[in-house]
Structure 1
Amino acid sequence: MSEMPNSHQALLRIHHSLKGRLALLGVRSSSLLEKLPSGGMAMSEHAGHAGEMANFANWQVCFGYDDPDLKPANFDTVVVFLPKARAELDLRLALARWLSAAGATVILLGEKKEGIAGAVKQLKAIAPEATKIDSARHCQVWSAMGIEPLISFDLAEWMVWHRIECAGVSVNVAGLPGIFSQGELDGGTAILLETLAHTPLRSDHVLDFACGAGVIGAWLQSWQRERGEGQSAVDGVDVQSQAVICARATYERAGATGKITASDGLARIEGVWPAIVTNPPFHSGVKTDTSMTENFLRDVSRHLKSRGELRLVANSFLPYESLIKRFIGPVERLYEDRRFTVYRAIRR
């Protein structure tokens, strides 16, 4: 069970204010549901968190903003936890208004370091009378009563498209608020794609771990198509609902093939692949924690065929080479500069 964030603990301080039918948007710990046994609806866009919450009595759990079980005008109190990306807050507030019954209260909370001060401005843009009702655990808690509900909520209206280009090949990529590197080609992914052009994979079936909006799979198959080569089906895995939605849309527009799956890591993924490519999301800020990388590489070894290839890009200062050698097999550097290194390893 995941550790309870400060914002979730701050909500428990005002649990007496949670009247009527309750909805929680952006839950990051199943421990919160255990502390609120009266139940309600809990939504998370993170596959791992949604999975942890699945079996709590009295709680309906929804995964992502397009879950078919999300019903309009159905809740008297809607709690909005602050997302990491500021752009996603507008999306989350819109969902909150669509879920709100007449006269409902919307509660927004988050930590100071997460940017709650700026988030309050977004709340007041739709609820000028919003007031702060508590401060605790480095968090602020704001309440907006009688917020005007939204008649409709269509996630497709939030989707935007942008064109990325690499090695002379371009593809259209879908984007939604909160998705990684929306609107641009991430530097690490760009380097990884260049190595795929210079040193192609020799595989007809590839797994893209942390696929995001489906850039790698769509680009690779477009690159192969333009050269008259046989296309490699590229399956994608990502933990975030918006990424899965965008990857499927990107694939459809690009005419790419491959199955896109929501999963927190590879532990529950079945199958083996002759090649795995990835720009893994295991580094944040300047703190280096290799435990997630070790677990990931251990899982990769179970899903990579013997003599199969791992192609991975990472920040150059991270100690990936020794870990890849330990868990996968012989490794070489296909590209290296001050920012990024692309590794190729062959499974023993």
Structure 2
Amino acid sequence: MAISNINQLLIRNLEALVATRPLLVNIADDGFIAQYLAQHSVIQLDSYHSNYAEYQATKRIANPRVQSHFAVQYQAKSRHDLAIIHFPKSKAEFGFTLAMLAESMLEDATIIIVGENKGGIKSAAKLSHDYLTFCNKVDNARHCLMYIGRFKASLAHFDLEKFYKYYSIQIQEKQLQVAALPGVFSQNALDIGTEVLLAHLPEKMSGKVLDFGCGAGVIAAYIATMYPETKLSLVDVSALALHSAQKTLTLNQLTGEYIASDSLSNVQERYDFVISNPPFHQGVKTHYAATELFLAQIKQNLHKNACITIVANSFLKYAPIMEKAIGKTKTLAVEKGFAIYQCDLNNNSLKNN
């Protein structure tokens, strides 16, 4: 596996990353951790991820000196003297991350922030003003930047609830309450793709329903409201998304099963309906592999008469993938730059244009 630009920047600074109990925050491992452990033979390292796939990759290291964590928020058992933070694509999530970490750090702990130039890291000093006494640039290589800082002495106790954004949406005659944490898709408002998708759901739904890439839970909440006899499973790679989705369903007095999964890795059941506004962005780059893998593998999780409906940017040609992997696929609509694709294995509930 090629070492990322961010980790190359960290590796060239390995000697300076001196600590007894360092914490890595959303640092994807591609060999960096092994080099870090080799350079500093006495450290006990914790690696926290809000991304389940990256958490699984770190967990596979299986080194007693490495503890891997996946959760909506990190809470240390022993305080850390160093944190290395991957600057997130959401600037709001950066403030969330700093606020979350403050109570897990020693008073004189060093804070390292790394990220790609085009990912917004140049705003790290400005965005960290409420949390850090200073945030200074210390290195620049491989189109990436590294900053160093230190937490302010007395910061407010971290309250996850304060970072939620709430809004209401009206879809046909149904009104729903939505809750979303920073960095979660559709954090501030209903996105156009989901709006188009909800207008082209199957006319009748019952049984087990899978919402793949659930985000803040808008799709699942709408389905449960319109079709109360359905049993919902919500899947996402993000701990923040899953927590948001659970909050959204609770606000609307709904329930579901929440599954952290790298694509379909932890999805075990078969479903009558699969509905998805699948993700195609990861970090600051555009990736289609996760959605293409989902479409290629989803048939194993479908009942024989199941129906799958997805929305995608109209330039993403997912219909041929669905045709090959699942069965005959129909384009239900192309609206507002989005296309709705549906494959009905029973061929009886395809919604007419």
2:83 to 78, 82, 96: 78
Shift in CA distance, 173/145, structure 1 to aligned 2, threshold 3 Å: closer
Distance 1:146 1:309 in 2: 51
- Contact 1:180 1:212 (8 Å CA) reproduced: yes
Partner of 2:349: none
Question: How many residues are paired up?
Answer: 338
Amino acid across the alignment from 1:207? L
Amino acid across the alignment from 1:219? Y
Shift in CA distance, 289/212, structure 1 to aligned 2, threshold 3 Å: closer
TM-align CA RMSD: 2.3
Partner deviation per Cα, 1:296-337 (whole Å, 9 max, x = no partner): 112111101112100111111221222111111112122223
Amino acid across the alignment from 2:110? T
Shift in CA distance, 273/305, structure 1 to aligned 2, threshold 3 Å: same
Shift in CA distance, 268/129, structure 1 to aligned 2, threshold 3 Å: closer
Amino acid across the alignment from 1:7? I
Partner of 2:263: 265
Distance 2:90 2:295 in 1: 28
Partner deviation per Cα, 1:38-73 (whole Å, 9 max, x = no partner): 341111110000011112331111113425xx2277
Partner of 1:227: none
Amino acid across the alignment from 1:318? L
Partner of 1:62: 69
Q: How far apart are residue 128 of structure 1 and its match?
A: 4.5
Q: How far apart are residue 30 of structure 1 and its match?
A: 4.8
| Percent identical residues | 30
Q: Secondary structure in 2 aligned to 1:326?
A: helix
Q: TM-score, normalised by structure 2?
A: 0.88
In structure 2, list runs of 5 or more residues that go unmatched: 38-42, 347-353
In the alignment, does 2:21 pair up with 1:21? yes
2:193 to 172, 183, 188: 188
Partner of 2:31: 31
- Contact 1:39 1:58 (8 Å CA) reproduced: yes
**1:38-49 map, 5 Å:** 38-49=43-54
Q: How far apart are residue 279 of structure 1 and its match?
A: 0.7
- Contact 1:4 1:28 (8 Å CA) reproduced: no
**1:57-206 map, 5 Å:** 57-67=64-74, 70-71=75-76, 74-145=79-150, 147-148=152-153, 150=155, 152-196=157-201, 199-206=202-209
- Contact 2:259 2:266 (8 Å CA) reproduced: no
- Contact 1:173 1:250 (8 Å CA) reproduced: yes
Amino acid across the alignment from 2:9? A
In structure 1, list runs of 5 or more residues that go unmatched: 225-229
Q: Secondary structure in 1 aligned to 2:199?
A: helix
Runs of 4+ in 1 over 4 A off after TM superposition: 287-291
Partner deviation per Cα, 1:153-187 (whole Å, 9 max, x = no partner): 23222122111221221111111011112121111
Q: TM-score, normalised by structure 1?
A: 0.90
